[in-house]
Amino acid sequence: MRIVSSSSRLFTIFVPVVLLSTFITYGLGALSNSNPAAAVLGDTATPADIKRMDHQFGLDKPFLVQFVHWLGRVLHGDLGHSYFTGIPVTQSIGQRFPVDLSLTLLALVFAVILGGAAGVLAAVRQGSWIDRGITAISAVFTSVPAFVIGVGLVVVFATKLHVAPSSGYVGPTTDPQRWLQHMLLPAIAISLEPAVGVARQLRTALVHELRQNYVTGAVVRGLHPSRVLFGHALRNAAGPALTVLGAQVPFLIGGAVVTETVFSLPGLGQLAVSSAEQRDIPVVQGVLLVTSVIVILANLVVNAGLGKLRPRAGAVTA
């Protein structure tokens, strides 16, 4: 084990992550064989037109120069314009971002509640039918993609029971209650996979903690069992579960992207798919960048949370 201060950890892990993801994101555009100028101008384009368009898009400069220019503009909040509609990418993303942000946050809340409850129950009743049941259900949900769960929820709760809308979106600021109605099913659909991760990790960690001497000590001193569980053991066991939750964020966003389609939510996923089909590279790059930044930020938050939870965990890396 090596002691690394949090600032150098930030530097050795997050700076390369940001650089690499931006580089891949930008490199994707350069890799594409498609000639955006020709695509935009259509059949009637002359070579001179294409050259002028290339210059306008900045495609006539060396790759690294283009990358640095692009990164500079991105840092100023400029993600370029769509090749086809000319709409600024930040505007398109800004319109759709609240959908995915609210969906992902709600799913995270569900994952913590469902996964936390299942993990604690399984650990406390270790070996019982509750434990076996939770373990079996967890195994099933790791093999089901979020969109399949989404389709199942639509069939049961929207088309059969009519208790929730099957599609559409209402902004949380417009009408919070209707927002929740529309978000409930998709959020549950994508929360189950991370919930399973949290439950499994929490069960393992909690079983380990409950065997420790300090727990026996606390019980012997006459502390209430729930206080021993929630005040002592859970606090120590929550760290690994939180790490797992952080690692699940990329999958959560992936799940959100596909599940959007099931529920016809006007989110980033729809934007990514339609712009990928059109080869609208600036829009694709913008979506990639925004989702990657969310994942990186989520990891930073998880790290900060780990530091708060267990002061020594924040300073030590394996």
Partner 1 sequence: MRSGVLRRVLRIRSAQIALVILLGIAVLVVFGSSIAPQDPLHQDVARLLQGPSGAHWLGTDYLGRDVLSRLVAGSRLSVLTAVEAVAAALVVGALPGLASVFFGRWFDFIANRLTDAIMTLPTLVFAIAFTAVLGNRMTPVMLAVGFLISPYFFRVTRAAALQYAQEPYVDAARLFGVSRVRVVGTHVVGKVLPTVLVTAATALAGALLTVSSLTFLGIGVVPPAPTWGGVLSSDLNFLSQLPWAPLAPAALIMLTAGSLNILADALRDTIGTSGPPVVRAGAITDQEVDRVDEHPAA
**Binding residues vs partner 1 (CB under 8 A):** 12-13, 16-17, 19-21, 24-25, 28-29, 31-33, 122, 132, 135-136, 138-140, 142-145, 147-148, 151-152, 154-155, 159-160, 166, 200-201, 203-204, 240, 247, 250-251, 253-255, 257-258, 261-262, 269, 272-273, 275-277, 279-281, 284-285, 287-288, 291-292, 295-296, 299
Whichever of 36 and 172 has its CB closer to partner 1, that residue is 36
Q: Which residue has the tokens 């994952």?
A: 111
Partners of residue 2 on adjacent β-strands: 317
The whole-angstrom separation of Cα 80 and Cα 94 is 13
**Which residue type is seen at 142?**
T
- The least distance separating partner 1 from the CB of residue 317, rounded to whole angstroms, comes to 10
Whichever of 102 and 201 has its CB closer to partner 1, that residue is 201
Whichever of 106 and 284 has its CB closer to partner 1, that residue is 284
- The least distance separating partner 1 from the CB of residue 86, rounded to whole angstroms, comes to 18
Report yes or no: 73 and 83 within 8 Å, Cβ to Cβ: no
- The least distance separating partner 1 from the CB of residue 275, rounded to whole angstroms, comes to 7
Whichever of 172 and 280 has its CB closer to partner 1, that residue is 280
**Cα angle, residue 95 at apex, residues 90 and 98 outer, rounded to 5°:** 110
The whole-angstrom separation of Cα 210 and Cα 213 is 8
Report yes or no: 158 and 185 within 8 Å, Cβ to Cβ: yes
- The least distance separating partner 1 from the CB of residue 41, rounded to whole angstroms, comes to 19
- The least distance separating partner 1 from the CB of residue 309, rounded to whole angstroms, comes to 18
Per this entry, what is the length of the chain?
A: 318
The whole-angstrom separation of Cα 109 and Cα 42 is 48
- The least distance separating partner 1 from the CB of residue 254, rounded to whole angstroms, comes to 3
Radius of gyration (Cα) for the chain, nearest Å? 24
- The least distance separating partner 1 from the CB of residue 47, rounded to whole angstroms, comes to 24
**Which residue type is seen at 51?**
K
Neighbours of 11 (CB within 10 A): 12
Whichever of 43 and 277 has its CB closer to partner 1, that residue is 277
Whichever of 21 and 90 has its CB closer to partner 1, that residue is 21
96's tokens: 């759709």
The whole-angstrom separation of Cα 233 and Cα 114 is 19
- The least distance separating partner 1 from the CB of residue 314, rounded to whole angstroms, comes to 17
Whichever of 119 and 172 has its CB closer to partner 1, that residue is 119
Instruction: List all residues 6 or more positions away from 39 whose beta carbon is below 8 Å from its beta carbon.
Output: 83, 279
Whichever of 99 and 218 has its CB closer to partner 1, that residue is 99
Partners of residue 3 on adjacent β-strands: 316
